[in-house]
Amino acid sequence: MSNYKVKFFGGAGEVGRSSIFLKDYEDNKRFLLDNGIKLNHTIEYPIGIPNVDVAILSHAHLDHSGFFPALYIDQNIPWFGTPPSFDLSFLLLKDSIKIEKKRGVEPKFHNRQLKSFTDKFIALDYHKTIPFGNYDITFYDAGHIPGSAITSIQKINGANKYKVVYTGDFKIQPQMMHTGAEIVESDILIIESTYASKEHPDREELIKNFIREIKETLDNKGNALVPAFAVGRSQELLMILHKNGLIESTYLDGMGKDAANIILKYPNYINNADLLRKAVDNVNMVNSVQDRKEALSKPSIILTTSGMLSGGPVLDYITKINKSSHIFLTGYQTEETNGRTLLESHYVTIKNKKITIPQKVSFYDFSAHAGRSDLFEYVKRSNPTFVICQHGDPINVEIFADELRGEGFDAFAPRLGESVEI
């Protein structure tokens, strides 16, 4: 007889809408690990909402948090997250309701569910343990964005005292804001697989080339347009620009401003908090149409949302920058997003109209995810009996699981809606 059931309502064989149901048959306890959305040209939601006893949020990005309030349409459960994840996810979720209404689309949840979401929050800091029935729940630093957590669910009573570890998104290698993910021993490991077939470039060399091309753009009287994720990437890039003497030429637009101020409330959750504070204090904040005109009127660096060009101020800038300008994509570009089509075909779609973009476009892999060798390192050092590979393209997760089986691990690569019995 199986001890655990793991079912994927999202995030299996895909990047986005992470939503993982975990059931312990012995105690009949049910956990939900994340409940996010998938941001393409349309929004995709988890394929269902299971009844659970508790939910856990790994971090604030909408592909993990974006459907969390929908749990409170007809449930009244507690959920655990770090304090930064609470504030940052609230920022993103509140904005998502506004965006849906502006698009004339009925939101999948409303402010009353968002209030329930805030009311049922239980804060859990790194290395602190909260008992939940026959389980100890502990968070560890995932090194992905501020507040991102690797979750340990340790069974402390019963016949099968398995330790389930869910990585969420993580990165072992250090970044400007993070020293790197902690590796946690496990019996059952549920691991992201986004870059299971790819290594990331050397970070120092990447930054060197990024700064060089930005300076060349400014020398050519262009704008360096840098779309970036509001939470994590924007602040990382701000720190890089400040460290390289470019902050006074930089304009920060979009939700990255609010996210930076939230992150600075939790200096213990990041590395180099003083550097981020100096960057925020010295960057040119864009708060009006006039500020945007100023940014475009001279050679400048425009750091703005959204990272995949799915909305936000970047869609205004991209049609107004001059021909000497240069667009720098700095993160993962999901299929069918403007970012992917810009990178591959040099056009974007705005208000259902395809617009050719003549400016130079470069991709800089500032990923906050683990690369291939780090994924294998995490599995080996975590030393699980069972590995479930998820949060990755279908081919990636299948090859990753197959390679892990070759290393002697019992590995699975489930698809959307499938269950794994352990």
Do residues 16 and 105 share a domain?
Answer: yes
Element (H, E) at 372: helix 372-382
Q: What is the mean pLDDT of the chain?
A: 95
Query: Do 32 and 160 belong to one domain?
Result: yes
Q: Are residues 208 and 113 in the same domain?
A: no
Cα 73 to chain centroid, rounded: 25
Number of domains in the chain: 2
Domain check: are 45 and 185 in the same one? yes
How open is the CA angle 260-177-262, to the nearest 5 degrees? 20
Q: Which of 252, 228, 159 has its CA nearest to residue 368?
A: 228
> Cα(311)–Cα(303) distance, rounded to whole angstroms?
14
**Mean pLDDT of the region 367-392:** 97
β-pairing, 300-304 vs 250-253, is: parallel
Q: Are 269 and 354 in a shared domain?
A: yes
Query: Are 233 and 241 in contact, with CB atoms under 8 Å apart?
Result: no
Contact 157/332 with Cβ under 8 angstroms? no
Asked if 323 and 374 sit in the same domain, the reply is no
CATH number at 75 reads 3.60.15.10
Q: For 34-184, where are the alpha helices, taking DSSP H only?
A: 62-65, 83-102, 111-119
Residue 1: band (very low, low, confident or very high) from pLDDT cuts 50, 70, 90? low
Global pTM value: 0.95
Q: Which domain holds residue 224?
A: 203-363
Residues 147 and 219 in one domain: no
CATH of the domain at 225: 3.40.50.10890
Among 341, 363, 385, which residue terminates a domain? 363
Same domain, yes or no, for 179 and 136? yes
H or E segment and range at residue 123: strand 121-123
Of the chain, the percentage scoring pLDDT greater than 90 comes to 90
- Yes or no: say if 342 and 361 are a contact pair by the CB < 8 Å rule: yes
Same domain, 301 and 344: yes
* Average pLDDT rounded to a whole number, residues 144-155: 98
Do residue 274 and residue 301 come from a single domain?
Answer: yes
**pLDDT (tens digit, 9 = 90+) per residue, 99-130?**
776 666 788 898 899 999 999 999 999 999 99
Residues 242 and 337 occupy one common structural domain: yes
